[in-house]
Amino acid sequence: MVGSTHWIATASAQAVLERGGNAFDAAVAGAFVLHVVEPHLNGPGGDMTGVFVTADAPSAPRVLMGQGPAPAGATIEHFRAEGLDLVPGSGALAAAVPGSVDAWLLLLRDHGTWDLGDVLAYAIGYARDGHPVLDRVSATLSLVAGLFRDHWPTSAAHWLLDGEAPAPGTLVTNPEYADLLDAVVAAGSGAADRRQAIDLARAAWRERVGAAVEAFVRTPHRHADGGDHAGVMTAADIAGFEASYEDACTATFRGYTIAKTGAWGQGPALLAALKILEGFDDAALDPSTELGAHTILEAQKLAMADRDVWYGDPATEDVPLDHLLGEEYAAQRRALITDTASHEVRPGDVPGRPTPPVPTLRTEYATSAPAGSLPGAPTGGAAAGVGEPTVEVPSVVEPDSPAHTGATRGDTCHIDVVDRWGNMVSATPSGGWLQSSPTVPGLGFCLGTRLQMTWLDEASPSALVPGRRPRTTLTPTLVLRDGEPLIALGSPGGDQQDQWQLLFLLRVLVGGYTPQQAIDAPALHTTSFPGSFWPRTWTPGGAVVEDRLGDDLIAGLERRGHVVTRAGDWALGRLSAVTRDPATGLLGAAANPRGAQGYAAGR
């Protein structure tokens, strides 16, 4: 079974399963297709995180770590010397070392069964022969066309047809990327075995990408702050990164074990919210009631406050997760939830540790760029394409609308796969979307902007430090019970990823919903914390809801003090999931109907 955010990726992964490949072969094939068909939401220059179990070790969830660190030249001093107080939301200066491709190839080497050329044939085919461009890709390109024409000519040459965005449904190709993948496959053609072939391909990828990136980013180009800056990425940065595996971070909830990434991602915040909510009666855990929606929003605020104050890369920062996910601490946090909405950021204390400072709280952010200096931004406030891509791109962009000035909400891609043997993987590839930074000649893609997760504040656990991983928002999930995997799930959505997954888990594990019912049900999330993406603003007491929750429930939230934004009936969440019943071996899958793009398939 496969569930993903794009039907072509699901179809490709399912084709691998049909031909005898396992879940890891299928996930890698689907992921490389996502690079091609959802280029506005992820790319080979980005990153990914995955969590998986193998049929041989079903009770031992592992994390696939594809989050590259900050380059050697990415120092707080350098950014401040460039006149910056935040890491920009677009431009190569914001790029972490690309990690996605190496991570997928590592997973294929160690847990897949197919040869690399067979796995990549799907992506190479769609890149070389073409695929129908999504309406959202077309709309995104329309938003950034001026930026491309005026400041990013390599992106204009790659994406615009006669200077304009291609119409939805137009067959588009990416021959440069197809050529690159062909060359990577060819690098392993003389290997003694499959494992060596993939390692040779990984080395060829680093060498070709590193040389092209270093040569290109040294030329200053427009960034989200309105200034022109050179990137700091070098070939040595790219050559020095290798993806890796880690034990998953886990917590229990109502007899289930939930597996997430470590504190270099936001994954433990979902675990923290579950531990806080575990002490409430079932009636307070139903997101479709006023009490449940309120309680969940308040728990999320507390979990996110700890995320923003305590989380960082454990390789360089001691993160006290044992305390933050402990029963006693959860009870202390639970006691802070009252009948009214909090408008504060309230991190907790850790005994014997000074509490790091709360990040700067801004409800709005203006750059120093002169009015009219940024394409698509009449006030000079933001460049189109900054931050993380939009959940919904309007078909018509009014001159003064947030979309026209580059305002963004989180989104990315996701894929889940389970096979007949019991292998299960959940993965969230992201970064390197086409509007991140200029297209690198010879590669067919651009670098990501994950360093915008970091702060230019030495006291923060998420401070920008060379070699340190930014605290990514990518956060796939596995659910186990009695040592057996039951569900793999995840969602695009930046800061909302774990919030929407929390709703799913509560509805399935407590409410008795099927996975598809849980995905279809109306969603909500809080914005009452500093955003992870440039310009890192917040809405005190903010709650974003789907209108389908109902006027009475929404009015009840407003009476409790929530600052409510209605998002429309079907606007929030792009979850997918796969399931396995350990008793029968029966497999299942579910996907998001919003946007008519996600797809679940299997047999």
Q: Is 203 exposed, middle or buried (0-12, 13-18, 19+ CB in 10 A)?
A: middle
Q: What is the pLDDT of residue 367?
A: 56
- Are 448 and 511 spatial neighbours (Cβ–Cβ below 8 Å)? no
| Element (DSSP H or E) covering residue 566 | strand 563-566
Q: What is the pLDDT of residue 190?
A: 87
Q: What is the pLDDT of residue 400?
A: 33
Instruction: Report the first-to-last Cα separation within the chain, whole angstroms.
Output: 7
Question: Phi, psi at residue 54, to the nearest 5°?
Answer: -105, 160
Residues, the chain: 603
Give the separation between CA 453 and CA 68, rounded to whole angstroms. 13
Is the peptide bond prior to 535 cis by the omega test (within 30 degrees of 0)?
yes
Query: Alpha carbon 225 to chain centroid distance?
Result: 23
Give the separation between CA 52 and CA 58, rounded to whole angstroms. 9
Q: Which residues lie below 8 Å from residue 29, measured CB to CB, with a gap of 6+?
A: 12, 13, 15, 16, 21, 119, 120, 122, 123
- Mean pLDDT, consecutive 10-residue stretches, the chain (603 aa), reads 97 98 98 97 96 98 98 98 95 97 98 98 98 94 95 97 95 97 96 96 98 97 95 98 98 98 97 98 97 98 97 89 97 98 97 92 71 35 48 34 33 94 97 95 96 94 95 97 97 95 98 98 97 94 98 98 97 96 96 94 94
DSSP secondary structure letter of residue 355: P
CB atoms within 10 A of CB 257: 20
| pTM: predicted TM-score of the whole model, two decimal places | 0.94
Q: What is the pLDDT of residue 70?
A: 98
Q: What is the pLDDT of residue 388?
A: 54
Give the separation between CA 355 and CA 549, rounded to whole angstroms. 37
- Are 286 and 312 spatial neighbours (Cβ–Cβ below 8 Å)? no
Give the separation between CA 205 and CA 183, rounded to whole angstroms. 9
Q: Give the torsion sign (CA, 81, 87, 90, 96).
A: positive
- Are 60 and 238 spatial neighbours (Cβ–Cβ below 8 Å)? no
Give the separation between CA 381 and CA 374, rounded to whole angstroms. 8
436's tokens: 């991140």
